[in-house]
Structure 1
């Protein structure tokens, strides 16, 4: 399937797609999950190391995609490892993207139900999310990228304003001592913080949609750098304000940080609603691009038009999203998706790149 010129995206749009896909549930949960793993105030170092691993993975994915610049991973996986193994891998990747999109839908309904729309049925909130997403995606990746261009600056502005307003309750002592227990706890937390950067696998799908695919590496470096900075600021401010013990006792510590202070005299005295607004927009971004990736994968695997597949996948996403019975099962689902990402989008692209390079050298010799 060749990508039409009308459905191509610019380098800056690629940057924003990568950034928006990486910024998701992690803004709310990363402080808690990373502190549980590290158990020291040095979590921000784990976030940096996790980001460096994401940069390395992004580099590998771009190099692999540049070997087949006009094809997505679904198409060239069959060229690399054969029709049937490649088809099976594509199916696993489609399931991964479906699970990711379902996880985002359920996450947003849980948070909205708890903080914003109490007593509203989960299915009602999920339906609004799902139908809004399908309305956007039916136009292709171009309208998706253009919407993200609107969402991103709003996210940056509101996030920075709200997070730095919490400086009044920030305690530097909560971040000390630096490396008090050495580097080992920091390294133990790298696996957890790396999960926050799952989403970089979108590179394997969107490079063929770039107008200038030769600049994919530049877009990747910039696109991953933004989330590293966002996550670092979030972790430092949340731990500095709530302390290590305060973070581990809360399900959504970033929202609790916003609820722990108020500034009288302003139009808004409580700021968690503003944070939730931008977070919902980011989750919508995450959901739509993973939904798009699953649909285009099935479309290319079955060699069928994408629109009917989009509508066919809608009830599947809903059913997967409603499967977890409570918040603990939802987090277990998130862990499962993160663990599968290590193999599906971490190790396998590296293996594909090695096989592709070896084959190319053999072909050149012959």
Structure 2
């Protein structure tokens, strides 16, 4: 498969690669992660599940990194035929394209649900979806460097707001809500790993980013930041949700993170209550995730059909729109996200070690130094 992108001009730095991985991970899942974990584990020990999941994601990311560094300057779409042969590669690539299209649709639908429920009540969902799609299209036409620059603007805003939320929650936090540690044993913690892994998937985008990096050898830095910063954010979110709201309230709220932000206010500030500001910031965060997924799907199609990525950006948009309208309710959308999380673990946690082993056995790519 021939590269259809100019990686010599459309390059990103190590910091930009890290920011893209972080923003890709911090999508819609942050709004519901506490509830999803409690539904699976039913214990305050879910914070341990998050830490274990972060370790697993980092190990999975290492295999992706080692694999990509054997094929410098190529994305997974381009070097997979060298490892498996064209027939098998086409099947896997099609599955990956379907995954990214469905993930794009999920992020888009969750972004629309939040916008429709809290900011633009009564607005038809299809109109909100189309507005976000066309804005993302305009961004993605500029290439991966344009996306990286936007992500560099959005992420600091998100992190600053997150720090404000942490400091504001401390006077309401009750550590007794997190005790006893391992009171129900280790089994509930293991039950919580799967939803935590689903929320932390994002390392897979390194399959594309490594090929565009100016210094691919520094990919390990992007992996560290891309895994551990989202892990810390989700870990703190889960701990604060339980410590402030309690176990029962966290498990029964649709958006426990939003409820957490609603639990405190400041008199005399422009924003006395922070939920409106949080919604705007997290819609931007979900938008960046959606745009990266849309680009990944289009890049896969462009590599398969040997076309320029910009033309395939237009082709994939109708498919994303159709899939995003399939779920009838919010719960169906959440279930779709859970299934995509499992698919991501299988696709990007299971395949890379196998591909790496095959590439070593068949002596494909460059040896790691």
TM over 0.5: yes
TM-score band, normalised by the shorter chain? over 0.9
CA contact (8 A) 2:197 2:345 kept: no
1:7 paired residue number: 10
Give the secondary structure class of the aligned counterpart of 1:360.
coil
Give the secondary structure class of the aligned counterpart of 2:120.
coil
Which residue of 181, 196, 200 corresponds with 2:203?
200
Give the secondary structure class of the aligned counterpart of 1:93.
helix
CA contact (8 A) 1:24 1:282 kept: yes
1:279 paired residue number: 282
2:60 paired residue number: 57
Q: 1:360 offset after TM fit, Å?
A: 1.4
CA contact (8 A) 1:162 1:275 kept: no
CA contact (8 A) 2:7 2:73 kept: no
Which residue of 56, 79, 83 corresponds with 2:82?
79
1:349 paired residue number: 352
Q: 1:260 offset after TM fit, Å?
A: 2.6
Which residue of 110, 126, 134 corresponds with 2:129?
126
2:72 paired residue number: 69
2:111 paired residue number: 108
Q: 1:169 offset after TM fit, Å?
A: 2.4
CA contact (8 A) 1:159 1:278 kept: no
Q: Deviations over 1:307-361 (max 9, x none)?
A: 1211111111111101100011111211221111122111011110110111119
CA contact (8 A) 2:21 2:206 kept: yes
Which residue of 205, 210, 213 corresponds with 1:210?
213
Q: 1:4 offset after TM fit, Å?
A: 3.2
Mapped to 2, the partners of 1:93 and 1:147 lie a distance apart of 25
Which residue of 185, 189, 197 corresponds with 2:188?
185
Which residue of 211, 233, 236 corresponds with 2:236?
233
Mapped to 1, the partners of 2:162 and 2:280 lie a distance apart of 10
Mapped to 2, the partners of 1:265 and 1:65 lie a distance apart of 52
Q: Does 1:289 align with 2:292?
A: yes
Q: 1:295 offset after TM fit, Å?
A: 0.3
Which residue of 242, 247, 258 corresponds with 1:244?
247
CA contact (8 A) 1:3 1:208 kept: no
TM-score, normalised via structure 2 length: 0.96
CA contact (8 A) 1:3 1:209 kept: no
Mapped to 2, the partners of 1:109 and 1:139 lie a distance apart of 24
Q: 1:182 offset after TM fit, Å?
A: 2.0
Q: Does 1:267 align with 2:274?
A: no
Which residue of 34, 37, 41 corresponds with 2:40?
37
1:301 paired residue number: 304
Q: 1:114 offset after TM fit, Å?
A: 1.0
CA contact (8 A) 1:41 1:174 kept: yes
Q: 1:215 offset after TM fit, Å?
A: 0.9
Mapped to 2, the partners of 1:47 and 1:144 lie a distance apart of 28
Which residue of 10, 18, 21 corresponds with 1:18?
21
Mapped to 1, the partners of 2:156 and 2:296 lie a distance apart of 24
Which blocks of at least 5 consecutive residues in structure 1 are unaligned? none
2:144 paired residue number: 141
Mapped to 2, the partners of 1:355 and 1:92 lie a distance apart of 20
Give the secondary structure class of the aligned counterpart of 2:270.
coil
Q: 1:117 offset after TM fit, Å?
A: 1.1
Mapped to 1, the partners of 2:281 and 2:81 lie a distance apart of 39
Which blocks of at least 5 consecutive residues in structure 2 are unaligned? none
Q: Deviations over 1:286-318 (max 9, x none)?
A: 101110000010000000111121111111111
Q: Deviations over 1:33-74 (max 9, x none)?
A: 011111111111111101101100110100010111121111
Which residue of 49, 54, 62 corresponds with 1:46?
49
TM-score, normalised via structure 1 length: 0.96
Q: 1:162 offset after TM fit, Å?
A: 2.3
1:220 paired residue number: 223
1:154 paired residue number: 157
> 256-265 or 223-232: which moved more?
256-265
